[in-house]
Structure 1
Amino acid sequence: MTMKGFLRLVAVILLVLLSGCTSKLTPVNTFTLSTTNTSNTPGLSSLGNHGTISGTVVDSLGAPLSQATERIQATTNQTLTADDGSFILSGLEDGVAITVSAWKEGYYCAKYESAKPPVVGIILKMRQVQTTDNANYEWIAPIGDGSCYSCKPGVTQVWLDNDAHGKSATNIRFLSMYNGTDVNGNQSPLTQYGNSPDYGAVPLLPDLSQPYYGPGYKLNFPNTAGNCAACHLPGAAIDAPYDTDPNTAEGVDTFGIHCDYCHKVADVKLDPATNLPFPNMPGVLSQIILRPFSEDKDRYQIFFGSFDDDNVPMEDTYLPLIKESSWCAPCHYGVFWNTVIYNSYGEWLESPYSDPVSGKTCQQCHMATPTLLNGETITNVAPGKGGVERDPKTIPAHTFQGASNLELLQNAVEMDVTTSRSSNRITVTVTLVNDKTGHDVPTDSPLRQMILLVRVDDTNGNPLDQVEGFRIPISGGVGEPVEGYYSGWPGKIFSKVLSEIWTEITPTGAYWNPVRVISDNRLKALESDTSTYLFKSPQDGNLSVNVKLLYRRAFIELMDQKGWKVPDIVMEEKQIDIH
C-alpha cells in the first residue's frame, strides 16, 4: 500500500470513530449522564422514553436523598424523589435543552444544565447548608460594588424606592422617639424621678414650664441602649441586642433591615403553646440567623429565598418559611412590661386569614405580585447574572406596602353611609367594615389612629349642631379643625390607647416605661362598627353630608412636640346631598 493510500485509510477510520461520539452535557453540582441504559437507572434507556428525564439525587457522600424536589427550572413541572433518590420528569420535548433543578430542606439548590430529552442517568449532587453562624461575617450592602444591586438591580431598586424596612434605622420618627428630641435635634430634659415607699424610684411628670419635645427612651434610660435595635437595625444588634445604640449606625447598618440580613434568617423562635414569639424577645432575639463562612469553599455564602430552583446553587437555597406569616412574627409582636404593645402577627393569627386553605399570608398582601419597576413587569430577578425568565406571579414585590401606602390604606376597609331626615332632625349612620385587612385597623404602633369625621352643612355651608352621637376625644387634638384638631367634632377615633402607670400620661407612646391598655376599639379582621349621629336640622333647605375616614400616624399632640409633618391620609370619603 502506498503512503497516500495508507493516509486515506486512516482518515476513513477516524471519521467512523468520530461519528460515534456524543457531545457531553455540562453539569453543575452533578456527575454522570447517559442517554442509554446505565447501572444508575436499571431497565431504562433512551428508546421508548421520549419526553422524559430520569436520574438520582444524592448527598455529598453519594447517599440517595428521598423526598427531594426536582423541577424543570422556572416551570411547574416537578416531582419528588423516591426512597432510593430516583426521579422521572416527563412531558418534555425531545431534543430541547432544559435545566433540571433539585432542592431538599437543609441543602443548597442543585441543577443540571443543557439536558436534552430523552435522558437517563442524571445524578444531582447536593451539599448541606451550614448549621452554625459566623459572627465574623461582614454584611453585603444593598448598593455599591459587590452589592445586591450588582446582581439584582430591578428587585433591589423596587425595595429602595418603596420599603420602609430599609429606612428603619434612619426613620426620623423612630430616632426622635428614641432620643427624646424633635426632628431638629432639640432634646427634652431628662426624666426626673421621685421615690415611692413601695416601689422605689418612679418617673415624674415632665416639667412643661421648660421646652419639651416629647418623650424618649434616652430620657428615661440615658446610660443604656435598650433593645430597640433588635428590630430597627438587627444586623448591627445581632451580637449585642441590648447594647446597640441606633445613633451609632453606619455603613450597611444604615439600611436597617436590609436585603442580606433578611435572606440570612433561617428560622424563627416561637412559643409552641401560643405560636407567638416569647415576651421581651423582639426582632433578632426571636430569629435564627446563619451567616456564612467565607473561607469555606462549600459554604462561602448562603441566601435563603423563595425559589427551589435557584440558578446559583453554590449560594442559594429555598426556605418555605420565607413565604409564611410566621417569618414576620419576631418584629410584629412585642410584649413589654407584660403588656402587648404591637401585635399585627397575633391579630392575623386569631383571624380567619390564618386558615391555611382559605386564608392569606402577610406576604400575599404586602409583597403582592407582580413586581413592577417604572411600570414594567420584572420577569428576571438577575438578568445577565445567571437569572432566568420566570412567571411574574412567582416574583414577590419587595415593596412591603404599609402604613404610608395610599392604595393599601384606601383598600383596607369599606364605609357605608345612610341618612334620614325628619322635620327638625337629620340622622347619619356610618358602618365601617374591615373586609380586606388580615389584622386590626390600625395595627402595630399604638401611636396610630383611624379618625372618622361626620359633618352636616346647611345651605350656607355652616355646620349643623350635633344633638346625639359620638364625638372625637381630646386625643384628636384641641384647636382648629381646618388644621387637623378635631376634638369635640362629631365622629370617632379607632386606636389602641396606652397610659403610663406612674405618670398616667394618656395616650402615650413611651412603652419602654410600664404602661397599661386603657381602651382598644380598633376594627378587627372581618368585623364592623356602626355609629349613629343626630343633628338639629332646619325645616327646609338643602343639606350636605360629608363623612371622612382618615389615617393618622400618631396622635397630634405628640406630632406637634416632635415636629412630625406627616399629613393625614384619606382612606374613605362619602358626600351626600339632601334636597
Structure 2
Amino acid sequence: MLDKSLMRSPVQAVLVFTILMGFLPHTLLVFVRELPAVQISVVGPDGPIEGAFITFEHHSFVFQSDGLGHCDIANSLVNRKFAVAREGYFIAHDQLHSKGNTVRLRKISQGDATDYDWVHPLEGEQNCASCHAQIAQQWKQGAHSFSSTGHRFLDMYSDRKKGWSLSRDLPEGKTVCASCHAPGVGAGQPGLEDISEVSGINKLGVHCDFCHKVEGVKKGEVGFAHGRDLLRLSRPEKGQVFFGPMKDATRDDNSFSPIYQQSLYCASCHEGTLFGMHVYSTYSEWQKSPAAAKGLQCQACHMKPDGTMQNIAPGKGGSNRNPMELASHQLMPGGLKQMLQNSILHEEEVIQGAADCMVKVQLKAVNVGHKVPTGYIDRHMILQVRAKFQGEELKPIEGLTLGHWVDKALVGNAGVLFGRPLLNADKQGVQPFWQGGVDIVDSRLEPEMAKSWVWKFPRETESVQVSLIYRPFWKEQELIKGWASQDVMVFEKTLIIK
C-alpha cells in the first residue's frame, strides 16, 4: 500500500502514477521473459531419440532433440501444434502443453516386402491423384511416367525396327534396363527379362509409389549398381508408409528421409557404367561442378517450387504452406527448350576485314550443375555458322567443320559438335554404347566455363546465321527408324553485314 504522505498534492500523485506506469511494463516483460521453457521429450521403442526434428505450425524455426531426447521450447509456443520427425520413424503430431510433452515415435519395420502391391498413381480408390491431383498431373507429363514405354526407347531396345537394337546386338544384356526404366518390376513378373513385355502399373515406369518407398541408398558404388539395385526400399508387410522430404507431413503413415533433398537420390539412375562404357555421367558431373561446391542439389533445379502450389493435398488433409517451399514435380520446368535456353549464354561477332570475314562465337553453360547436354550418351548439340552471299552459302576458309558422322547433310559446314560420340573402329561413324567404342571424345560444355571459336569466310559475305540445335539421338538412327525430327532449336541469330 502506498504511503499517504506520498499523495499530499495532486501534482505529487500524478508524479507517482507516472513513475509506476513507467516501471510496470518493464516489470511485466521481465516476468514474461523469465517464464520457464517447456520441454518436449522424444522417445521410441528403444528409449530416448536424439536428433529428432521438431517443427511448429506457422513457425519457420526447426528444433532438435538432444542426446537424452529432450528439447526445450519457448513458453510462447504453448498450445501450438507441432510435428516430430526422425529418419526411420513415422512422423508424430501433438499440441504443446504448458507442462511439456512426451512424444512416442513409432519405428518403421525393417526389411522390404517384395510381394507388396504398388499403389496406382491414377486408378483405384486409394490412387495418388485422388489427393495429390496437381503433383500427379506434373508427374504424368514428365519422362518418368513413360520411361518403360517410350517408343524411341523401345525402338532402340527391341528388334522391331532396323538400326541399333540392344535385343538383337546383345541379347544377354536385355535385363539391365528394367532396374531404372521399370524399377517396380519384381521377380517373375513380365518385363524383368524383356522390358518390352512390361504390364500393369509397371507400364507407368518410375511411378509415385516407387519413388516414395525409397528409405535411403544402399552401401554400394554409385554407377555400378543401377536403379532399384542401389536404392533401399521399404515396402510394408501390412499398413502403409510413404517417405518424403517433409518433416511435418500430416498423414500418420508418412516418414521423413533426408535423401529426398540430396543429389544422391538421383544417382542410381543418372550415373551408370554399362557393358564397360560410362553411359550416364550426370551425377559425377554434378559432383565436380560449381553448383555442388555451393551445396546446390539436383532438386534445386529439377524439383524447383513453381511458386503457385500452396497445398499438396487440398481438401484431403493437406496444410497450406509457403509455395516457395513445396517441390514441383515438373522435372523440366517450362520444357526442355526453355531449360536449354536458360542454361546457355551466347555471343556473336562479325568482323569484315580487307581479305576475309571473321566470325567469333562464344558459348557458356550457366545455371547448371552438369555438362550441357547431359544424360543419355547419344544426346548432343550442334553449333552451326552459315555465311551467305546473294542467297548462296559460302564454305569456310578457316575454322572447325562438321564431320559426316554427325549428320551427312551438314558435312563440311562450319560448326562444332557438343557430345560424347562413341566412334567405331575406323572412326568414320558412331555406334551404340553396348558395342563399346574406340574413343570417347567429350566435347560438351562445362558448367560456368566459356568457350570461343573463330571462323573465316570470303570477304563478300553479306550475312551470317549462327544457330544451336539439340538432338537426343544421332540423325542417322532417327532416319533409319523413321522417327519424326526431335531437333530443338536452342537459338538462331542472323547477323547482317552492311
Scaled to the shorter chain, the TM-score interval is 0.7 to 0.9
Instruction: Report if the CA contact (8 A) 2:191-2:199 is conserved.
Output: no
Match of 1:369 among 300, 305, 309: 305
Distance 2:261 2:463 in 1: 48
Q: Specify the alignment match of 1:343 in structure 2.
A: 281
1:203-352 correspondence runs (5 A): 213-222=162-171, 225-237=174-186, 243-269=192-218, 271=220, 277-279=222-224, 281-294=225-238, 300-313=239-252, 315-352=253-290
Match of 1:529 among 432, 438, 451: 451
1:575 and 2:494 matched: yes
Distance 1:410 1:237 in 2: 40
Distance 2:167 2:334 in 1: 26
Output the amino acid matched with 1:535.
F
Distance 1:516 1:330 in 2: 26
Relative to 1, partners in 2 of residues 1:432 and 1:244: Cα closer, same or farther, differing over 3 Å?
same
Instruction: Report if the CA contact (8 A) 1:447-1:508 is conserved.
Output: no
| Cα distance per residue 1:503-545 (max 9 Å; x no partner) | 9783122x2233343422111222232111100022xxx8222
Q: Specify the alignment match of 2:41 in structure 1.
A: 56
1:491 and 2:440 matched: no
Instruction: Report if the CA contact (8 A) 1:229-1:237 is conserved.
Output: no
1:8-23 correspondence runs (5 A): none
Instruction: Report if the CA contact (8 A) 2:148-2:204 is conserved.
Output: yes
Instruction: Report if the CA contact (8 A) 2:40-2:102 is conserved.
Output: yes
1:391-540 correspondence runs (5 A): 391-401=322-332, 405-458=336-389, 460-478=390-408, 485-499=409-423, 506-509=429-432, 511-538=433-460
Deviation at 1:52, TM superposition (A): 6.7
Instruction: Report if the CA contact (8 A) 1:140-1:147 is conserved.
Output: yes
Instruction: Report if the CA contact (8 A) 2:42-2:49 is conserved.
Output: yes
Match of 2:135 among 155, 164, 167: 155
Q: Specify the alignment match of 2:65 in structure 1.
A: 81
Output the amino acid matched with 1:435.
V
Q: Specify the alignment match of 1:144 in structure 2.
A: 123
| Cα distance per residue 1:175-234 (max 9 Å; x no partner) | 0000033xxxxx3xxxxxxxxxxxxxxxxxxxxxxxxx1111111244774211111000
Instruction: Report if the CA contact (8 A) 1:414-1:433 is conserved.
Output: yes
Q: Specify the alignment match of 2:22 in structure 1.
A: none
Distance 2:237 2:366 in 1: 47
Instruction: Report if the CA contact (8 A) 2:75-2:98 is conserved.
Output: no
Distance 2:43 2:291 in 1: 39
Deviation at 1:91, TM superposition (A): 7.3
Instruction: Report if the CA contact (8 A) 1:440-1:523 is conserved.
Output: yes
Output the amino acid matched with 2:52.
A
Q: Specify the alignment match of 1:389 in structure 2.
A: 320
Instruction: Report if the CA contact (8 A) 1:403-1:409 is conserved.
Output: no
Distance 2:197 2:334 in 1: 27
> For 2:90, what is the secondary structure of its paired residue?
coil
| Cα distance per residue 1:132-174 (max 9 Å; x no partner) | 000110011110221111121111112212x201110111111
> For 1:247, what is the secondary structure of its paired residue?
helix
> For 1:392, what is the secondary structure of its paired residue?
coil
Distance 2:34 2:248 in 1: 24
Relative to 1, partners in 2 of residues 1:178 and 1:562: Cα closer, same or farther, differing over 3 Å?
same
Output the amino acid matched with 1:497.
P
Give the share of equivalent positions with the same residue, in percent.
28
Relative to 1, partners in 2 of residues 1:337 and 1:440: Cα closer, same or farther, differing over 3 Å?
same
Deviation at 1:468, TM superposition (A): 0.8
Instruction: Report if the CA contact (8 A) 1:545-1:577 is conserved.
Output: yes
Distance 1:558 1:329 in 2: 28
Distance 1:564 1:428 in 2: 34
The structure whose residues are more often helix, as a share, is 2
Relative to 1, partners in 2 of residues 1:504 and 1:426: Cα closer, same or farther, differing over 3 Å?
closer
Deviation at 1:560, TM superposition (A): 0.7
Deviation at 1:327, TM superposition (A): 0.8
Deviation at 1:93, TM superposition (A): 6.3
Deviation at 1:308, TM superposition (A): 0.7
Q: Specify the alignment match of 1:99 in structure 2.
A: 81
Distance 2:180 2:466 in 1: 37
> Which stretches of structure 1, 4 residues or longer, exceed 6 Å deviation after superposition?
46-52, 238-242
Gaps of at least 5 residues in structure 1 are 1-45, 182-186, 188-212, 295-299, 372-376, 479-484
Relative to 1, partners in 2 of residues 1:477 and 1:107: Cα closer, same or farther, differing over 3 Å?
same
Deviation at 1:55, TM superposition (A): 2.5
Deviation at 1:237, TM superposition (A): 4.8
Distance 1:152 1:292 in 2: 21
> For 2:338, what is the secondary structure of its paired residue?
helix
Distance 2:84 2:338 in 1: 39
Output the amino acid matched with 1:73.
E
- How many residues are treated as equivalent by the alignment? 467
Computed over aligned residues only, the root mean square deviation of the Cα atoms, in angstroms, reads 2.6
Structure 1, 166-175 or 151-160: larger mean CA deviation: 151-160
Distance 1:242 1:147 in 2: 23
Output the amino acid matched with 1:487.
V
Q: Specify the alignment match of 2:94 in structure 1.
A: 112
Distance 1:49 1:310 in 2: 33
Distance 1:517 1:256 in 2: 32
Deviation at 1:86, TM superposition (A): 2.4
Relative to 1, partners in 2 of residues 1:180 and 1:447: Cα closer, same or farther, differing over 3 Å?
farther
Deviation at 1:336, TM superposition (A): 2.1
Instruction: Report if the CA contact (8 A) 1:237-1:284 is conserved.
Output: no
| Cα distance per residue 1:335-366 (max 9 Å; x no partner) | 123221121101111222212xx242111011
Distance 2:284 2:33 in 1: 55
Distance 2:190 2:440 in 1: 30
Q: Scaled by the length of structure 2, what TM-score is found?
A: 0.87
> For 1:475, what is the secondary structure of its paired residue?
coil
> For 1:573, what is the secondary structure of its paired residue?
strand
Instruction: Report if the CA contact (8 A) 1:51-1:93 is conserved.
Output: no
Distance 1:68 1:495 in 2: 46
1:193-204 correspondence runs (5 A): none
Q: Specify the alignment match of 1:208 in structure 2.
A: none
Distance 1:449 1:159 in 2: 25
Q: Scaled by the length of structure 1, what TM-score is found?
A: 0.75
| Cα distance per residue 1:303-362 (max 9 Å; x no partner) | 11010111012x11111111101111111111123221121101111222212xx24211
> For 1:454, what is the secondary structure of its paired residue?
strand
Instruction: Report if the CA contact (8 A) 2:373-2:379 is conserved.
Output: yes
Distance 1:158 1:330 in 2: 22
Instruction: Report if the CA contact (8 A) 2:378-2:472 is conserved.
Output: yes
Output the amino acid matched with 2:260.
I
> For 2:167, what is the secondary structure of its paired residue?
helix
